[in-house]
Structure formats: structure tokens, C-alpha cells
Amino acid sequence: MQNAQELKVLLGQPRKAVVLMHYKPDADALGSSLALAAWLKKGNHTVTVISPSDYPSFLNWMPGNSDVVIFQPGRSDGPARAIAEADLVFCLDFSSLSRINELGEMVRRSSAKTVLIDHHLEPERFADFEEWDSSAASTAELVYRLIVELGGEDKIDCCIADCLYAGLMTDTGSFRHNNTTDEVFVTAASLVKKGANPHRVSKLIYDNNTLSRLRLMGYVLSQKLQVIPELKTAYITLSRDELRQYESQTGDTEGLVNYGLSIKDIVLSVLIYERKDGSVKLSFRSIGDFSVNDFARQHFEGGGHKNAAGGQSSLSLDDTLAKFLGILPSYRDLLQHEGYITTLPTNQESKQNKA
Ligand code: 5GP
Ligand code: MN
């Protein structure tokens, strides 16, 4: 952060702070937010953590979870008041205010100083302070980096460390994605030294399934996963009725899109599903140079990272699939050219490219 010293001065006395994360937060968004909130509280600040929506129950173990205010439009003016009265608003794991729906306008109207901590591509430049790095694997890493920059590392306890470790672990796909740099391992090691427990965190996040979620996965893998070999693409669609049949809860679809990419030679994997409110959501994953951030931005009002992005569609599920399948052939050359693992740079080459 360029003006870290200025932020440090601001935090030199007790402030009213709000911590916001993106809609349908994942372990990185929630873990980073709860870690930052716990750290701020240790500095005698008053902190309100607000989520724009509910989130998966496998994240409920995170220390501070019970204090998270879930924004429900029209239900209470608590979040609006907290944002209006805040001295500081921290925005975590999203790069554009549109990702927090109505809360975005409240942030725009607020006179609070805003702090963006994020690793998504193409940020909207709305914040007074930015800890932004699209080469960082997770927002958790950036929260850790900021805390160190502000000289507050000694206040990281095992609860804060567990929350940050959860973000780091999940956003690197358990240290498997191509964002798994040496800094990731150094940060992970520092967090473990501070008391994070990798075994416990991974059990809590990954081994917390309901039987119906596993049945849903079985159904998806046996009946719904489609492959277009000539376009190196895999896709899955799930309707509201199908999700209802498997008693799907928030978060149950998370990770399904990764199965497509686990098929040999597949370069692009897509999950298209209907939310409870009928809207259609898309999740994209890719390997190598095919940018799903560009694809989602261009065609599905979305974005994210080069190899992991999301978007939405106002069409029906069937029409969204038809739109996707209609667009895909125009990417034939790019998709066919992508040579899977042989094109991935070695760690050394990645470093040289960055230098
Ligand atoms: P997921 O597919 O797991 O929902 O999201 C993959 C990545 O894309 C995450 O980093 C997420 O924050 C981002 N993302 C998901 N949906 C959207 C969206 O609608 N708009 C933007 N800009 N980013 C998204
Ligand atoms: Mn993230």
C-alpha cells in the first residue's frame, strides 16, 4: 500500500469501522473479513462486519461468525446506519462496488475513508487506500501483508490465523492452482507459526458435507457433466428443481465446476445454475492462457481472475446454455491451441516473466 503510513495514523486512535465482503462470500472473503475485524478490535476499534448475503454453513465455525450482519434489503437499517456513521469502510475480496449490490451505493454516499483489500482483476478505483495485487492468490494473503505493513503482526492470534489460512487454502485450491507462489507458502508457514491448524481448517471446510450434497455431486458427475472434446470444454447445468430435489443449501454447488477441469485435456469448465430467486449464475474455470475473466466480462456481466471467474445471465437456464454454446465456437482456435499442462510455465519461468 502506497499510503500505508497515513492509514496507520488513522488507526492510531479508536475508529468506527465497517468490513464488507462480496455477495455470497466464500472462505477467502469471509475469512479475510473476520480476521481483519478481529485484528481491528484488538486495536480498540469498533467493528461491524456486513455480508451482502448469506453464505455456506461450512464457514460458520469461523471465529466472529455470530457477529456478522447479513444484509437483507428493507429488513433493517442497521447496515446502512453502520456504513453512514463509519470512519473507515474496508472492502474485501471484491474490486467493484457493484459486487455488493445495494451496499455499494451506501459506500459511495458515505463520507468514510475506504480501504480496498483485493486480488481481482480490473478494480474500480473507488478507494482511498488500496492493498490490491492481482498476482496475490488470495485476499487473506493481502490482509496478512497489510497487517505486517502496519506493524501489527504481533496481534495475530490463532483465531485470526485460522481465518486467514482458510482463505489462502481455498483460493489456491489447497495449494494446487497456478497462483500457488513461494509467498503463499511463506505466508501459510507464518500463519501456522501463529497457531493456524491446517488439518482442522481443512476438515472444517472440506469434510463438512451433508449426505444430500454428496448425492448431488454423484448426480452431477453421472448425469449432468457434458464434454465437448473438440472445444476442450466441459459444462454442467443445474435447474432450481434439480437443486431442490437434492435439498441444496447455499454453497452446495461450490467446487462442482472444478470437476470439469479434472478431465484430461479440458481447458474450460463451466457451471450454469439457477439460484433460488430464479436468476442464472455462471462459474468459469480455465487452464493456461484462456482468460475466463475476459470471457465472463464480455458475455455474462461478470469477471474475476484469469483462470477463475463468474457471471450472471438474465435469460432462462436453457437460453443461457444456448447462448454459451453459441458463443463458444468463436473461441475454437484459442481453446484448441491451449496445450494443457505442457504450456504451463515452471515456477522459475513465471518469476522471470514477472521480473
Ligand atoms: P465462483 O465461480 O467461485 O463463484 O467465482 C470465481 C471467482 O470469480 C471469484 O474470485 C469470484 O469473486 C469472482 N466472481 C464470481 N462471480 C462474479 C461476478 O458476477 N462478477 C465478478 N466481477 N466477479 C465474480
Ligand atoms: Mn479471493
Tell whether ligand 1 has an atom less than 6 A from the beta carbon of residue 308: yes
| Closest-lying ligand 1 atom to the alpha carbon of residue 283 | 2
pTM: 0.93
Query: Which amino acid is located at 294 in the chain?
Result: D
Q: Are 284 and 252 in contact (CB under 8 A)?
A: no
Cell numbers linked to 227: 464434454
Instruction: Quickly count: other Cβ atoms within 10 Å of residue 270's Cβ.
Output: 25
Hey, which CATH number is domain 4-206, 3.30.413.10, 1.10.1370.40, 3.90.1640.10, 3.40.720.10? Answer: 3.90.1640.10
Residues 6+ apart with CB under 8 A from 154: none
Helix (H) or strand (E) holding 334: helix 332-337
Q: What angle do CA 153, 26, 88 make, to 5 degrees?
A: 50
Residue nearest to atom 6 of ligand 1 (CA): 309
Report CA dihedral (303, 308, 313, 319) to the nearest 10 degrees: 140
Separation of CA 143 and ligand 2 centre (Å): 11
CA–CA dist 35, 157 (Å, integer): 9
Q: How many CA atoms lie within 13 A of 169 on its CB side?
A: 22
Q: 166 CB contacts (<8 Å, ≥6 apart)?
A: 27, 28, 31, 59, 62, 140, 201, 204, 205
Profile the chain (355 residues) by mean pLDDT over runs of 10 residues. 96 98 97 98 98 96 97 90 97 95 95 97 93 97 98 98 98 95 97 98 96 97 98 98 96 96 95 94 95 97 95 97 98 81 57 54
Q: Which three cell numbers stand for residue 88?
A: 473507515
pLDDT of residue 347: 62
95 CA: nearest ligand 1 atom: 22
What is the rounded distance in angstroms from the CA atom of residue 15 to the CA atom of residue 45? 5
Domains of the chain, residue spans: 4-206, 211-336
284 CA to middle of ligand 1, Å?
8
Q: Which atom of ligand 1 is nearest to the CA of 94?
A: 12
Q: What's the pLDDT at 122?
A: 87
The Cα 91–Cα 244 span in angstroms is: 33
Torsion of CA 174, 91, 31, 135, to 10 degrees: 20
- CA-to-CA distance for 127 and 95, rounded, in angstroms? 10
Expressed in angstroms and rounded, the spacing between residue 302 Cα and the centre of ligand 1 is 7
Grid cell listed for 104: 455499494
Look at the domain 211-336 and name its fold.
Diaminopimelate Epimerase; Chain A, domain 1 (3.10.310)
What's the Cα-to-Cα distance from 176 to each of 49, 264, 300, 332, rounded to whole Å? 30, 16, 27, 27
User: What's residue 341's pLDDT?
Assistant: 55
Structure-block grid coordinates of residue 235: 459444462
